[in-house]
Every structure is written in C-alpha cells, then in structure tokens.
Structure 1
Amino acid sequence: MNEALRVAMAEQGLSCEVLAEKVGVDPKTVGRWLSPGRIPHGRHRIVAAKVLRREILDLWPDEGRRRRDVPWFRPWREAEAQSLALRSFEASVIPGLLQTEAYARAVLASGPIAAEDVERFVKVRMERQKAVFDRPRPPLAVFVVDEAALRRGDPGLMNEQLDHLVEMASRPNLFVHVIPFSAGLYPGQAGSFVIGSVEGSRDVSYLDNQLAGQLATEPNELAVLVRVWDAVRGHTLPRDQSIELMKARPWMK
C-alpha cells in the first residue's frame, strides 16, 4: 500500500469517496492510487496534494526518479502535455514552448542554473515542445508576448528565434499575439503565467518566480488569472499584424 497517501488521507479524515469527489475522479481510481506503484495523472496529483496538504513527492516519491526536470515542475509538465487549450503570457522572454534550442540555451545559461545543468534543462524544454505540439491532437494554443521579448538578445540569435516564431505562428491551431510598446502599462506586467485546460478536470495554471514555479488550481486563483488574461489580450495586435511585426523587425534595421 502507498502508506504515505493512506496516512495523509487519514490525517485529513478523507475517505476514497470524499477525496475522489474533491479531485474529480471515480472513487475506484483513488483506491487504485493506494496500491504501490500506481501514480495519478499530473493534474490529479496537483489537486490531491493540495487537498491533502502534502508535497507531491511526499505522496508519490517514485515519480521523482523518472524525470530529468526539477520536482516542482513535473506536475505542470504533464498537465501541459495533456491540455486541450493553452493560454500563455510572457513579458520578458519568448515562451519556452516556442524557443529554439539555441535561444533556450542562452536564456537558461543567463539565469541561476548551474552551468553543468544547462544542457539537461535545454533537453527537457525540447522534449516539452514535442510532447505538446507533435501529438496527434495538439492543443489550441494562444501566446501573448510583449514586444520587449522580441527585441532582447543578440541579433544573430534573435533572427533565428523570430524566424521560428513566425513559422510556429503560422500553424492553424497556434496563435501568437504581440503587445506593442505603444500599449503602455497593462495588468500583465505583474508576472508571466500559463493557463491549461485539461479534459475532465478543472483548469490549472503555472506561474514563474525567481525560486520555483507555482501551480494554481483553486477556482478563485484561476478566476483572477482569467481576468488578467482578458485584460492582457485586449492590448495585443491582431494575429496578422503580430506576424508582420515579427517578420519586419524594424528595431534590427
């Protein structure tokens, strides 16, 4: 038996039926989670851990041995790969799902990550892109990017990255919208975030900070982010104008 999960349920006074209702699954599914080696989908682990007031890897430590990425990021990576729709806002860099390998390497190397770990995280980022966009039914993905992110970086690096961005933005299920400098100040500048919509489950959001990512699953948290998303979206250029700006790159001339 998964003793850690059993103890957590007992301490919170939750039966399989009650936990199943809170997570949004069948009680038999929760019963299977109690068996050794049975690990829930990422979106269910996120909610179950919150309900039980435990860290995900405290409840399912075996999952930590399977991946190269950091523990707090794994549940979002799985939710992202299963999403039917993604809404992403980035203020300072090109979103990870749209980065070239060279750009990803440069961004990761500029941060607090140890030099010996950069290639590992680059590989994880490339794997994430394949998991999201190369599956039979990729999600409807809408990316909002501040114009500042298009300008920041070595011209040689950014020309390749912007070519890739234009190519991705031309896919029928993928939209890239740019917030031009002329928009002035807007609510989204408080921080970047992504909202994923997963079939059969509540939405889940991922927010970055300087130390680690934060997952948001509570309805009130998601309601705030949706309001911010709607406000941010109102400041963007239309799809065609965004693509033209990325092609023209007047700041490089």
Structure 2
Amino acid sequence: MPNDRLRDAILRNGLTPVMVADKIGVDPKTVERWITQDRTPYPRYRHAIAAMVREDVPYLWPKAVTPEKASRIGQSEMVQLYSRRSSVPYELWHRLIERAEEQIGILAYAGLFLVEQDRKLVDVLRQKAVDGVDVKILLGDPTSPAIERRSVEEGAPGVMAAKIRQVQQYYRQLEEAPGVTVFYHDTTLYNSIYRFDDEMLVNMHVYGFPAPHAPVMHLRRLNGGDLFGTYADSFDRVVSASKQQPGGEVAA
C-alpha cells in the first residue's frame, strides 16, 4: 500500500523523489520504495524528510513512533512551566509574536491582557498578516451561557462578557485586514492557547481562579512528540466549531 501522505507532502513542497534523494544522500529508488511500498526509512532519514516537507514524523509514518516514545518526546516539548500567567515575562510574549513567520493563533475567552500589555499589538498583527502570517483570533461569544458560567465560577458575574466587549474594540480594527480572521466560540475552555508557529503558551484554567493566577506551559514542537500536537489539535477543533459573528449579532 503506498504512502500517500509522504507522496502528497513531497509534491506539495515542490519536490520530487529524486530531489529528496539528492538532499538526504540516498538512491532515488529508495525514496520511491518509501512512497510506493510504504517502507519506513531509518530515523535519521525520517527526521530529515519531515523537516524538509514541514510535517511531523508520526503524520508521515504513523507506525514509526510508538505511543510510549511519543510520550517521552512529549515531555521534552515542555520548555518551561510557570506557576501563574502573570509570571510569564512580557519579553517572551513579544519574542514569540515577533518571530512568528507562518501562523499566530489566539484562543481565549477575552485575552484582554495581551492588548493591555502591548498597545501596539493590533498594528503588529496587521503587519504580520501583510507579511504572510495566518492570524486567527478566537474570542468567547459574549452572548453565550458558557461565558456567563465562567464569570460566575470566577466569582465575578458579568465580567467576562464585559472583557470580551472591551477587547472587541481592538480587534475590530483588523476586520478588513487580509490574513486576519476573528472567530467567536461558545466552547467551555479548559485552557487558553496562544500559538506562534511551533511554539505555544498554554494557560490552564482552574476552577474558581481567574486565568492570570493559573499555570502556563511553554511548549515547543518536537518531531515525534505528542504534547504540542494535542493542544494544536484542540485549537483546530475550536476553530471548526466557531463562527465569525457572536450569536444574535449581524455583521455591520
């Protein structure tokens, strides 16, 4: 059975089996067998090809990485654990945003602190989009019962919806910016996720505590790991279930 994922990834990146073979130093027929007969390359070749086509090893060769090994690698994807979000240095947020070249993803209920700690954030995101970065911002739907439930859990009824309304005023400046999409979700978030290419800050949610007082994991994707991928998949699931207008509101 052919490895269609590998074939597609190679072609999608403008490569051919001969070009791949030349880059990693093997016979072109070997690469053809990896594709047509779904043979698994040695680890050094798997990692070289995965980097070349910008895909994960487990995606290209699902059977090559056991769950146990993926879990071990996943532990190394944790760069730093902060006991609370307020302990994350501003310089780290700034660096991650500035260095992003492919995608920036913000998934939160409001995430008001981002625009409060950097008044130029909207302009930076607009320029990033101009430079080709895919910017996705996912805010809570302020009309959703899930938002009020979160406010009540934090002991401040009505506050979360108010924060969302406040941050909307900033992100509405990006409505006409190509490459930027603002979504609204009614998901019960277990974490807020901030993604910058292959790095991510995951702000855990703790019952009864506001997000600034909850832990944050700084993750960096490693080929073969499963921790970063778990949160990236969660982010994508919320995107697929979101809409571009809050419930009951119509675009102006």
TM-score range, shorter chain: 0.3 to 0.5
Q: What's the TM-score, normalizing by structure 1?
A: 0.45
Between structure 1 and structure 2, the one with the greater Rg is: 2
Higher helix share: 1
